[in-house]
Chains A and B, each alone.
Chain A
Amino acid sequence: MTITVDLTIYPLELVLRTCHTFTGRCFVVPRAAGHGHVAVELTPRDQDDSLRDLAGDFSNALLDCRLRALIAEETRPIRELLVAQAFCEADLLDRREVESDEHADPRGIAG
Chain B
Amino acid sequence: MSAYGLLPFRFLRFDDARTLVVNDVGESLFLANDDFARFVRHELPPDHDAYLDLKAGHFLFQGDSLAPFELLVTKYRSKKAFLDGFTSLHIFVVSLRCEHSCHYCQVSRVSADRRRYDMSEETARRALDLAFRSPAPRLKIELQGGEPLLHFERVRQIIEEAHRRAEEEERQIEFVVTTNLALIDGEMLAFFREHDVFLSTSLDGPAELHDVNRPRPGNDSHARAIAGIHLAREALGHDRVAAMMTTTRASLESPEAIVEEYARLGFDSIFLRPLSPYGFALRSVRTTGYSMREFLDFYVRALDHILALNANGAHLVESYAQLLLTRMLTPFSTGYVDLQSPAGAGIGAVVYNYDGDVYASDESRMLAEMGDTRFRLGNVHRDTYAEIFGGDTLRRIVAASVAESIPGCADCAFVPWCGADPVHHYATTGDLVPHIPTSDFHEKHFFLFKHLMSLYERDATTRRIFWAWVRREPMRSEEVA
Contact = CB atoms under 8 A, between A and B. Distances in A.
B21 to A, nearest CB: 10
Contacts of A17: 407, 411
B408 A82 contact: no
Contact of A75 (B7, B65, B411): B7
A86 B76 contact: yes
Contacts of B66: 93, 95, 98
A interface secondary structure, majority: helix
A81 interface: yes
A20 interface: yes
B436 to A, nearest CB: 8
A83 B73 CA distance: 7
Contacts of B77: 86-87
A23 B435 contact: yes
Contacts, number: 69
Contact of B437 (A20, A65, A78, A81): A20
A82 B437 contact: no
Interface string A69-104: 011101110110111011100000101011000000
A68 interface: yes
B9 A71 contact: yes
B438 interface: yes
Given A85-B73, A93-B70, A23 B437 contact: yes
A87 B79 CA distance: 12
A47 to B, nearest CB: 18
B270 to A, nearest CB: 31
Interface string B1-24: 000011111110100000000001
B408 A21 contact: yes
B69 interface: yes
A17 B407 CA distance: 8
Contacts of A31: none
Contacts of A70: 40
A105 B73 CA distance: 27
A20 B342 CA distance: 23
B168 interface: no
A25 B437 contact: yes
B73 A78 contact: no
A64 B40 CA distance: 12
B199 to A, nearest CB: 37
Given A23-B437, A82-B8, A83-B76, A68 B69 contact: no
Contacts of A10: none
B130 interface: no
Contacts of A93: 66, 69-70, 73
Contact of B6 (A65, A68, A75, A81): A75
A21 B8 contact: no
A68 B10 CA distance: 7
Size bracket of the A interface: 20 to 34
B119 to A, nearest CB: 37
A24 interface: yes
A82 to B, nearest CB: 5
A97 B69 CA distance: 14
Contacts of B69: 78, 81-82, 85, 93
B70 A78 contact: no
A49 to B, nearest CB: 14
A67 interface: yes
Nearest to A64: B13
Chain A CB within 10 A, most for which of B9, B10, B411: B411
B80 A86 contact: yes
Interface in A19-56: 20-25
Contacts of A23: 435, 437-438
A78 B4 CA distance: 14
Interface of A: 17, 20-25, 60, 64-65, 67-68, 70-72, 74-76, 78-79, 81-83, 85-87, 93, 95, 97-98
Interface of B: 5-11, 13, 24, 40, 64-66, 69-70, 72-73, 76-77, 80, 407-408, 411, 435-438
Given A60-B13, A82-B24, 19 more contacts: A17-B407, A20-B437, A23-B435, A24-B436, A25-B437, A65-B411, A71-B11, A74-B6, A75-B7, A75-B8, A75-B9, A78-B5, A82-B8, A82-B72, A82-B76, A85-B69, A86-B76, A87-B77, A95-B66
12 contacts: A22-B437, A23-B437, A23-B438, A25-B437, A71-B11, A74-B5, A74-B6, A75-B6, A75-B9, A83-B76, A85-B69, A87-B77
